[in-house]
Amino acid sequence: MLCHNLHKIVLPIDALLCRSLSCHDPSHINHLNTFVSNISNACLSAGAAILPYTGRGSDRGRMPGLTEHVAPVRDKAESGRPRNGVVADIMRKTRAEYHYAIRRIRRDSDNIVNERFAEALLHNNGRDFWAEAKKIRRNKVSVSSIVDGVCTDDDIADVFASNYQHLYTSVAYDVTDMNCIISSIDDSLSGHKMQSTVTCEEISVAINKLKAAKNDGDIGLSSDYFKQSCNDLAVYISRLFTALLVHGTAPSEFATSTVIRIPKGKGLNPTDSANYRGIALSSIYGKLFDLIVLHKFSDQLCTSPLQFGFKAKRSTSMCTMVLKEVIAYYSKHGSLYCIML
Ligand SMILES: [Zn+2]
């Protein structure tokens, strides 16, 4: 299906074959932008026909243990509904059993979850264990429909947009210094002939590295569209990325992110915007592009040894642990003074 859709796309041959690093032909850029949209539309229409859908929050209201403890008696209770006679008596009895089972799992929901955890650990079944951990972490705190006194979706979005605009512009910078940095980068780029071909294999490897079921929050693509795609998609994207690198451009789809709000935790006032943090849903193309750049140039990129987040084989929990150990050491061996910057 996707192959069929892709083959219907009219290829911007001139733009894709252009290898001039100094090309400024606006029609090439426009054709590449259209090419991205066409690939997205091909994926979306193929996905609509093939990929299975699950409703958002499909597990809302689900109770732990429902399938094991309630479904059997519910099925018995719902197998026909005569009004009188022996069967009706059995029906009433099984219905009572059903309601009793529901009440029981409501009452024992914590124990059922703990039991599952213990079972998973006992049988050393890592996948079940992490599935349970995910279920416990998920959806416990819901978002409020009123934030900072406003209640429509658009107004709430404006509140967060205003907050983030203030946050991201709260650190001032010197315009002259910034212009110097930009012109210095431009100068170093203009004299640099980078190897700018992206191969299908590199795209396939990058697609495999994408996490499953991640939405882009914008045009409706998700990483599954790419992970479940045919090989032809990798060919199209490799040609696209190569042309984009040659022309030094990126379509707006690559840079568009959608920030959604996540409650910071239980027990906090959900109607206060300060009690939410934002996470950005990024373009899948942008993620692929990042992975390609990391793959090609990671040996030339350097980071501070004190950076723990967003680095392979590092975790912010490492430095949290170091901090806790240092605090514990000094608490044990004398007085402790702590300054947080
Ligand atoms: Zn060109």
Kindly give the confidence (pLDDT) of every residue in the chain, 341 residues in length, as a single tens digit, with 9 standing for 90 and above: 888 899 999 999 999 998 887 788 899 999 999 999 999 999 999 988 877 665 554 455 566 667 777 777 677 666 666 777 887 888 888 888 888 888 888 888 778 877 877 777 777 665 556 666 666 666 556 788 888 989 888 999 999 999 999 988 898 889 999 999 999 988 887 766 565 789 999 999 999 999 888 888 888 898 989 998 889 999 999 999 999 988 888 898 888 889 888 888 777 888 899 999 888 899 999 999 999 988 888 888 888 888 888 888 888 888 888 888 988 888 888 877 888 77
Predicted local distance difference test score (pLDDT) of residue 239: 94
- Predicted local confidence at residue 200, as pLDDT: 94
Based on C-alpha coordinates, what's the Rg of the chain? 27
pLDDT of residue 28: 93
Distance 293 CA to ligand 1 centre (A): 21
Å from CA of 219 to ligand 1 middle: 27
Residues 6+ apart with CB under 8 A from 44: 219, 220, 221, 225
Output the CA–CA distances (angstroms, integers) from residue 234 to 35, 249, 257, in the order listed: 14, 20, 23
How many angstroms is it from 286 CA to the middle of ligand 1?
21
Q: What is the pLDDT of residue 198?
A: 92
pLDDT in the model for residue 134: 65
The pTM assigned to this predicted structure is 0.67
Taking the centre of ligand 1 as the mean of its atom positions, its distance from the CA of residue 269, in whole angstroms, is 54
The DSSP secondary-structure symbol of 261 reads E
CA angle at residue 266 from 126 to 310, to 5 degrees? 55
Cα 314 to middle of ligand 1, angstroms:
40
Distance in Å, CA 230 to ligand 1 centroid: 28
State the pLDDT at residue 207.
95
